[in-house]
């Protein structure tokens, strides 16, 4: 079990079910399918646009392999480990996660003792602070999610880094970079050979960005920081971009997400200055954003982003 530096955030409550995407009737959040090679030696197990399933990365070198994200709970973690072992054979395994949220990292227990687990220091701290509360919150999303989290254990990393770390996999270089706070307080991106970028939920394909803004319990999402991070990632000009959810894309995906967040920031500031309340601001932005980005899914997240930007104007 993961030791805690401080008590977990008490009772991070799930906002009203009507405020969030309703996943109760969605397929079970199970990682399925075989890894697909998206670049030389870089594989992705696609999420197939199933709620609470991430894109999982497996990166192969000549003497080691790196797994990026695990899926939610021990069953998903065991499946990802099985697929990684099938590709890697006897190569040494490393495992890391893009951020601490349950669907991305709460299958880590399957890798304990089977791989070297690497997190940045803020990731470990955020896991300690919020992990137990997020288990409870995600269990409330649906019976299927609760089933996957039934026997979950929070796992500490074997190695912790500050800022940036590089892993030589043998003929392939993985750079792990701490870039939060943005989507969470401790986001991480992974750049493979300067050409393939894994960004977790910093960007998603045709999905409104998830802003987990649940005051007063969790307010670590940083909209301005998020936009700044996306500017830095656009400048990397990666050939292939692997989002946390949705189809693999290119750098234009990051620009799309950046433009949306910048729109919400600008509108929230304008409406606040005009005297609109937080609820009025969220409602107006929601209406306009649904029309502007009509092909995007999970519009329920628009209001959370609007309120986060609205409240950040006070700080």
DSSP state of 18: G
194 within domain boundaries:
yes
Are 113 and 152 in contact by the 8 Å Cβ rule? The answer is: no
pLDDT at 15 over 70: no
- pLDDT value for 19: 66
- Residues 178-202, mean pLDDT to the nearest whole number: 97
More confident residue, 211 or 2: 211
**Domain limits for position 277:** 17-312
What pLDDT, in 10s, does the model give residues 201-248? 999 999 999 999 998 888 999 999 999 999 999 999 999 999 999 999
Q: Is residue 147 part of a domain?
A: yes
pTM: 0.93
| CATH at 158 | 3.60.15.10
Residue 12 lies in a domain: no
Residue 56, classified by CB atoms within 10 Å of its CB into exposed (0-12), middle (13-18) or buried (19+), is: buried
In a domain, 304, yes or no: yes
- Residues 188, 163: Cα–Cα separation, whole Å: 10
Of 200, 214, 119, give the one whose Cα is nearest residue 160.
Answer: 119
Contact 57, 166 (CB under 8 A): no
Whether 10 maps to a domain, the answer reads: no
DSSP line for 157-226: -SEEESSEEEEE-SS-EEEEEE--SSSSTT-EEEEETTTEEE-GGG--TTB------BTTTB----HHHH
**Interval 83-134: pLDDT, tens:** 999 999 999 999 999 999 999 999 999 999 999 999 999 999 999 999 999 9
266 Cβ contact list (under 8 Å, min separation 6): none
Produce one character per residue of 294-303: b if its CB has 16 or more CB atoms within 10 Å, e if not. eebbbebbbb
Q: Do the domain assignments include residue 62?
A: yes
Quick check: is 175 in a domain? yes
CA angle 26-138-161, nearest 5°?
A: 120
In angstroms, the CA 221 to CA 213 distance is 6
Any domain includes 4:
no
Question: What per-residue confidence (pLDDT) applies to 315?
Answer: 55
**CA atoms of 220 and 103, how far apart (whole Å):** 18
pLDDT at residue 278 above 50? yes
Surface-to-core class of residue 249, CB atoms within 10 Å of its CB (0-12 exposed, 13-18 middle, 19+ buried): middle
Tokens linked to 113: 């003792």
Of 60, 112, 110, the residue nearest 80 (C-alpha): 110
Does the structure show a pLDDT above 90 at 35? yes
Among 16, 22, 13, which residue's Cα sits nearest to residue 218? 13
Q: What is the pLDDT of residues 243-269, one digit of tens each?
A: 999 999 999 999 999 999 999 999 999
pLDDT tens by residue, 132-165: 999 999 999 999 999 999 999 999 999 999 999 9
Question: How many domains does one find in the chain?
Answer: 1
CB atoms within 10 A of CB 24: 11
Written as six digits, the tokens of 98 are 């893009």
* Residue 14 pLDDT greater than 70, yes or no: no
């Amino acid at each position: 079990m993961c030791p805690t530096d401080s008590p977990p955030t008490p009772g991070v409550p799930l906002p009203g079910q009507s405020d969030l995407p309703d996943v109760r009737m969605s397929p079970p959040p199970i990682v399925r399918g075989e890894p697909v090679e998206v670049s030389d030696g870089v594989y992705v197990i696609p999420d197939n646009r199933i709620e609470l399933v991430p894109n999982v990365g497996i990166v192969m070198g000549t003497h080691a392999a790196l797994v990026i994200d695990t899926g939610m709970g021990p069953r998903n973690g065991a499946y990802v480990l099985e697929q990684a072992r099938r590709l890697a054979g006897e190569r040494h395994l490393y495992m890391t996660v893009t951020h601490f949220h349950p669907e991305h990292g709460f299958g880590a227990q399957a890798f304990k003792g089977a791989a070297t687990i690497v997190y940045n220091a803020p990731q470990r701290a955020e896991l300690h602070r919020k992990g137990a509360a997020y288990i409870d919150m995600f269990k409330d999303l649906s019976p299927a999610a609760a089933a996957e989290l039934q026997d979950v254990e929070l796992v500490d990393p074997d190695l912790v880094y500050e800022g940036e770390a590089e892993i030589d996999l043998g003929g392939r270089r993985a750079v792990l970079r701490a870039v939060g706070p943005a989507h969470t307080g401790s986001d991480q991106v992974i750049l493979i050979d300067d050409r393939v970028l894994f960004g977790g939920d910093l960007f998603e394909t045709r999905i409104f960005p998830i802003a987990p803004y649940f005051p007063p319990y969790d307010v670590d999402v940083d909209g301005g920081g998020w936009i700044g991070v996306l500017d830095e990632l656009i400048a990397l000009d990666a050939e292939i971009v692997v989002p946390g959810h949705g189809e693999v894309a290119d750098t234009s995906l990051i620009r799309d997400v950046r433009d949306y967040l910048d729109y919400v920031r600008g509108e929230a500031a304008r409406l606040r200055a005009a005297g609109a309340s937080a609820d009025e601001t969220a409602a107006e932005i929601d209406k306009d954003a649904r029309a502007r980005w009509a092909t995007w899914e999970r519009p329920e997240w628009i209001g959370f982003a609007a309120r986060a930007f609205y409240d950040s104007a006070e700080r």
